């Protein structure tokens, strides 16, 4: 080895940064002339931090200048690497991006329990899962091996933390601001309900989400907003307020609706027979929609003249029903409806009165008493102690059967209270009393006839004696 060669060896050492010229490039290595006795060699895995590079030819060609770090050097070989240089440069770029809050590209290379690994400039950066998306239900696994945009949110001791959520949030804010400026006060838009809350509806109209407060939903009172609207419903809204600082918009549905009770007062009057749809059922009755945004109350006591009929066994939500308007008060926004008023009150027209003997049909039994029907909707009670005069009855069903027609006497009748009480016992007792009275009348007649005959014979005898 010449003195010049020894000098050159002594002037190069491991860890030294050298500049050279590319003299040969293959897929797997680059040969570099850096004024040493032999060319320096850079293998592909030492050439770049970029995992997507598959060939040295993608980065360098013969004649290019290149900077590298000596990893091993002797009189036979010189192994070079660019990894440390690229790592330092990548960290400098990441730090600058952190300082200026730039948006940068990275590739998701791994997904762990709590973090996502994003490779940027060859550096594995950490992205916590709560920084992946603004949507908590976003599928993180869908990002694996995907290129994404992120922002560096923490740079400390060469530890880099990035966020995709920050980019999305910033883009959403810009879009929100653009859409907010398009919303005009007092303008009317078609919107779509996206959320139903206890305080109102969240509606997206003209690409902007606003709130319809409870008081701006309807002219009519309601108990549960979810009974009026659901997610996906289309609604027309009017912009009634804008807050430029908070970028908030208030919509109104009610402002676009005519005051429905004024319309009802002009078109419907007491006594009208109309058709409606049952929209809500409560403990005390059913609400029937008879006009847009106008519901009337069908009270359970106005369904049937029969006090034993349970209205709730005969109705359901969505059912069409014919009703009669029995009271309307547009000022108080109250409408009373009735089904039973569609026909005459059988309690008035039945002709029943206390003391009348009639035939009734056994409909059932309650607490030992019998339920009987005179005509449709006129039912009454046959008490168990009025079933028989011959024996003590503890249960009417022991003596009577459903469907049996029996003759009874009306002992109580109040058409206003729809009260009817009847008795078999009184019929029999009355019959026995009448039979007894008849017998007594016959006996009285026999007695009178006998006395008359006696006086007649005596009279004839006296008259005969006078003639003699």
Q: Are residues 323 and 374 in the same domain?
A: no
Domain count, the chain: 5
Give the H/E segment covering residue 407: strand 405-414
pTM of the model: 0.46
What are the φ/ψ torsions at residue 93 (nearest 5 degrees)?
-65, -40
Does 468 reside within a domain?
Answer: no
Give the H/E segment covering residue 347: helix 346-349
Task: Please check whether residue 309 is in contact with residue 376, taking contact to mean a CB–CB distance below 8 angstroms.
Answer: no
Does 443 reside within a domain?
Answer: no
Write down the pLDDT at residue 241. Answer: 97
Task: Please check whether residue 287 is in contact with residue 278, taking contact to mean a CB–CB distance below 8 angstroms.
Answer: yes
Q: Are residues 419 and 399 in the same domain?
A: yes
Write down the pLDDT at residue 51. Answer: 83
Query: Among 284, 287, 273, 279, which Cα is nearest to 319's?
Result: 279
CATH code: domain of residue 306: 2.40.50.140
For 125, residues 6+ apart whose C-beta sits below 8 A from its C-beta are: 94, 106, 117, 118, 119, 150, 152, 160, 161, 162
Q: Are residues 267 and 252 in the same domain?
A: no
Q: Are residues 69 and 109 in the same domain?
A: no
Q: Give the tens place of pLDDT for each residue, 137-167.
A: 999 999 999 999 999 999 998 899 999 999 9
Does 288 reside within a domain?
Answer: yes
Domain-terminating residue out of 136, 169, 202: 169
Domain-terminating residue out of 320, 342, 364: 342
Q: Are residues 98 and 163 in the same domain?
A: yes
CA dist 234 to 131, 219, 430, Å? 34, 18, 72
Does 135 reside within a domain?
Answer: yes
Does 444 reside within a domain?
Answer: no
Q: Are residues 202 and 250 in the same domain?
A: yes
Does 98 reside within a domain?
Answer: yes
Residues of the chain short of pLDDT 50, as ranges, are: 1, 7
Give the CA angle between residues 89, 95, 100 to the nearest 5°: 125
Domain range for 16: 3-81
Rounded to whole angstroms, how far apart are CA atoms 357 and 409? 4
Tokens of 273: 């027979």
Query: Among 377, 210, 400, 224, which Cα is nearest to 307's?
Result: 377
Does 437 reside within a domain?
Answer: no
Q: Can you point out the beta strands (E) in 34-181? A: 40-43, 65-73, 78-81, 103-111, 115-120, 123-128, 147-156, 159-163
Q: Can you point out the beta strands (E) in 282-319? A: 285-291, 294-299
Does 323 reside within a domain?
Answer: yes
Q: Are residues 125 and 158 in the same domain?
A: yes
Q: Are residues 266 and 240 in the same domain?
A: no
């Amino acid at each position: 080895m010449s003195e010049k060669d020894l000098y050159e060896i002594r002037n190069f050492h491991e860890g030294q940064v050298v500049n050279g010229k590319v003299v040969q490039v293959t897929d797997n290595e680059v040969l570099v002339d850096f004024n040493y006795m032999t060319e320096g060699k850079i293998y592909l895995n030492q050439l770049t931090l970029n995992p997507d590079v598959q060939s040295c030819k993608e980065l360098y060609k013969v004649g290019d200048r290149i900077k590298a770090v000596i990893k091993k050097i002797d009189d036979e070989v010189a192994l070079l690497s660019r990894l440390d240089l690229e790592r330092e440069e990548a960290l400098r770029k990441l730090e600058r991006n952190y300082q200026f809050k730039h948006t940068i590209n990275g590739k998701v290379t791994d997904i762990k329990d709590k973090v996502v690994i994003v490779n940027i400039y060859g550096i594995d950066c950490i992205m916590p899962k709560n920084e992946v998306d603004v949507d908590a239900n976003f599928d993180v696994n869908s990002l694996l091996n995907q290129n994404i945009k992120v922002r560096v949110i923490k740079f400390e001791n060469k530890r880099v933390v990035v966020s995709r959520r920050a980019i999305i949030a910033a883009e959403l804010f810009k879009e929100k601001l653009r859409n907010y400026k398009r919303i005009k006060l007092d303008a009317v838009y078609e919107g779509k309900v996206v959320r139903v809350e206890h305080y109102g509806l969240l509606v997206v109209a003209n690409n902007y989400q606003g709130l319809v407060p409870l008081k701006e939903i309807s002219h009519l009172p309601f108990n549960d907003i979810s009974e009026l609207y659901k997610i996906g419903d289309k609604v027309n809204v009017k912009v009634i307020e804008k807050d430029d600082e908070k970028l908030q918009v208030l919509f109104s549905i009610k402002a676009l609706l005519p005051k429905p009770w004024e319309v009802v007062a002009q078109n419907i009057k007491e006594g009208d027979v109309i058709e409606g749809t049952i929209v809500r059922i409560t403990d005390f009755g059913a609400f029937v929609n008879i006009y847009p945004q106008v519901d009337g109350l069908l009270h359970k006591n106005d369904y049937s003249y029969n006090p034993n009929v349970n209205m709730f066994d005969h109705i359901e939500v969505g059912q069409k029903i014919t009703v009669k308007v029995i009271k309307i008060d547009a000022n108080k926004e109250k409408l009373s409806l009735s089904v039973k008023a569609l026909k005459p009150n059988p309690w008035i027209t039945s002709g029943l009165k206390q003391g009348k003997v009639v035939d009734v049909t056994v409909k059932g039994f309650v607490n030992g008493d019998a339920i009987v029907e005179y005509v449709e909707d006129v039912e009454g009670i046959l008490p168990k102690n009025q079933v028989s005069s011959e024996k003590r009855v503890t249960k009417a069903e022991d003596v009577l059967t459903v469907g049996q027609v029996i003759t009874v006497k009306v002992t109580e009748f109040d058409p206003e209270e729809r009260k009817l009480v009847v008795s078999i016992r009184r019929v029999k007792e009355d019959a026995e009393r009448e039979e007894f009275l008849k017998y007594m009348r016959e006996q009285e007649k026999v007695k009178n006839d006998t006395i008359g005959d006696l006086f007649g014979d005596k009279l004839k005898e006296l008259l005969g004696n006078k003639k003699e």
